Each structure stands twice: as structure tokens, then as C-alpha cells.
Amino acid sequence: MGQVTDTLPRSREARRSPGPWRTAAGDLLRNRAALAAAVVLLVVVVASLCAPLYAAHIAHTDPFQSHVSGTTVVDGKTVPVLTPSSTGLGLGVTPIGPTWDPAHYFLGADNQGRDVMARLLYGGRTSLFIGFTAALISCALGTVVGVVAGYAGGAVDAVISRVLDVIWAFPVYLLAICLSVVLLTNGLRLGPLTVDAGSLWLPVAIIAAIYVPYIARPLRGQVLVLRNKEFIQAAIGSGAPVPRILRREVLPNVLPTALVFVPLMTALAMLTESALSFLSVGVQPPDASWGTIIEDGLGLLYTRPTVTIAPGLLIALTTAALNVLGDGVRDALDPGARLRGGV
């Protein structure tokens, strides 16, 4: 080693290493695709946060109230928001289509006469909230489980690994739907923790739980390798207590991998939430998410496709941005990190 440092230029040798986190941040800032993705995400997040402002001050509407007999103004003329449809079974209504006027149903109305644009912004809040919190909880839980299993070894590891195997062998959507169907009737009661059936925390808990093996498995593998490294052996030999070894020696080494998974998991969690909501076992009315809006739009698919297309495009845009950003974070922090499926 000594010889190698001697051949380096003096200035390089004298300068202190910037440390792994700062190097990674620098790498990320130089990654143009990741930066562009971050900007897209920022725009989506800010727009969603502004949903109440848009509803109250621009569209002047309450997107959670139906306006079955409401009217609006298009090109200076007053028109009804919903018109009884002349075709089909005669039971349906045709809502107003996109007017491209932010003050009057910019993207049209849904079958209850609610402003689709305002609902999209509110839906974005819900979808982003569920995706991000579920991903964070999943990554945190997965890290704890993976580190404990990998470090403890023996019977603890065997039990945890078998439990993870069982969850892993379940197609994720099936498991999520099973849990949702049961919990939606009665809510979740786990000791002191109570979650109401209609609460947004229910899909968060379900999605977070089903993806724990995705995080725990690769981290357990990393900890198994780390355990045999000299610095861990040295810490054990010097009599450091286990919690201290986990916190000071093991955790800092697996944290980059856990962080890499956050954006990728957020994308996965958002897709899962939207699928559950689409199957009406996710977000429950009166709350809206992008998935529930797509479901609302299904009956109008052939007459007012915007109601279905707009939220789907937003989901695709957001998850694509999260995936590109996630790739950037991975390249910067831990190029070898792989979620299930190698991507």
C-alpha cells in the first residue's frame, strides 16, 4: 500500500478524503438523468401539496362533494355538468369533458360531477403519501429484520428466514388483496395499535409488510459477509456489547444499500397502492388516490377517457422518475444493490 500512495501526486495525498456520503452526493449531482427525475418528482409533489389551493381559489369546487345537478360555464354559456346519456342502458350520465379552462372543469368531471383536475391533485397527495411512508417503513423494518437475522445467525436466523420465505412465496398482489379484504371490514387491531378500516394507514401497513422480504433478504446476505470481517471480530474481541456493534459497525455498512432501496420501493409501493385501489381494496372513499380515480373512470372509459388516462399517466410519470432517481442513487451509493428481479 505504501508504495502506491508514494506515487500519487502530493496535492492528492495531502487532501483529506471527502468521505463516502459526500462522494456519493457529488456523483448523484453529476448524473443528469437522475437530476431531471428529481425535478419531475419535485413538480409532482409541489403540485399535489397545492391541491387545496387549486380547489379553493382556482377551480372553486369541493372535489369530495358530488355535483349531480351542478352547472358550469363554457365559452360564456351555462351548461350542466352531467347530461343523461342517450345511448346505452339509459341509466348512465355523461359528464362534461375537458374544457382546458382551469376555473371550470379543466379536465372535465367524473360521473358524480366532481372536478377531475382537483381530484387528481388530491389523489396525488394520497398516492405519494402512501407510497413514500410504506417504502420508508418497509425499508426500516426490512433493515432491522435483515441485520438481526444476519448477525444473530443460528435459530433466530432460521426462524426469520423461514418466515420471509413464506411471505416471499406468496405472489405480492395476492397477499396484499387477502390482507386488505379482511382488514377493510374491521380495521386492524394489533395490541395498543388500532387502525380504522377507512384509514390511509391501512394500505400503508399492508404494503409495508408485504415488501419487507425484498429488503430483509439482501441485507441479511450483506450482514452474513460483514460478520466475518476483521473489524467486527475486533469489536467483538474488545468486548463491545452487541447493540453497540450493530449500531456502530454493522448499520453504517448496510445503510447505503437500505437507502438505495427507498426510491425504488416508493415506486413499487405506489404501483401496488394504485392496483389495490383500482380493485377497490385499497384507498376507500371519500379519500381519492390515482388508483381510485382510474376505477371511477372505468365506466366512462369509452365516453370520457380523460378520467382514466390522466391519473394513469401521472402514476407512470412519477414511478418512472422514482426509478430513474433510484438508479442514480444506486450508482452513487451501492452499484451492486439489487431488489428482487435484479433491477
Q: Which residues bind other proteins (CB under 8 A)?
A: 162, 165-166, 168-174, 177-179, 181-183, 185-187, 189, 267, 271, 274-275, 278-279, 281, 291, 294, 298, 301-302, 305, 308-309, 312, 315-316, 319-320, 323-324, 340-343
**Nearest distance, CB of residue 227 and other proteins, angstroms:** 15
8 Å CB contact between 269 and 282: no
Q: What is d(CA 88, CA 162) in angstroms, rounded to the nearest whole number? A: 54
**Nearest distance, CB of residue 178 and other proteins, angstroms:** 6
- C-beta closer to other proteins: residue 53 or 182: 182
- C-beta closer to other proteins: residue 219 or 235: 219
- C-beta closer to other proteins: residue 179 or 245: 179
Q: What is d(CA 257, CA 253) in angstroms, rounded to the nearest whole number? A: 8
C-alpha pair distances (Å), 237 with each of 223, 228, 233, 293 = 18, 12, 6, 59
**Cis omega (within 30 of 0) for bond into 286:** yes
**Nearest distance, CB of residue 153 and other proteins, angstroms:** 14
- C-beta closer to other proteins: residue 245 or 337: 337
150 is written with which cell numbers?
Answer: 444476519
Strands, E assignment, 176-227: 188-190, 193-195
**Nearest distance, CB of residue 327 and other proteins, angstroms:** 8
Enumerate the β-bridge partners of residue 94: 83
**Nearest distance, CB of residue 65 and other proteins, angstroms:** 26
What's the 3-state SS for 192-216? Answer: CEEECCCCCHHHHHHHHHHCHHHHH
Torsion angle, alpha carbons of 180, 184, 190, 191, to 10: 180
- C-beta closer to other proteins: residue 16 or 162: 162
Amino acid at 212: V
- C-beta closer to other proteins: residue 57 or 189: 189
**Nearest distance, CB of residue 172 and other proteins, angstroms:** 8
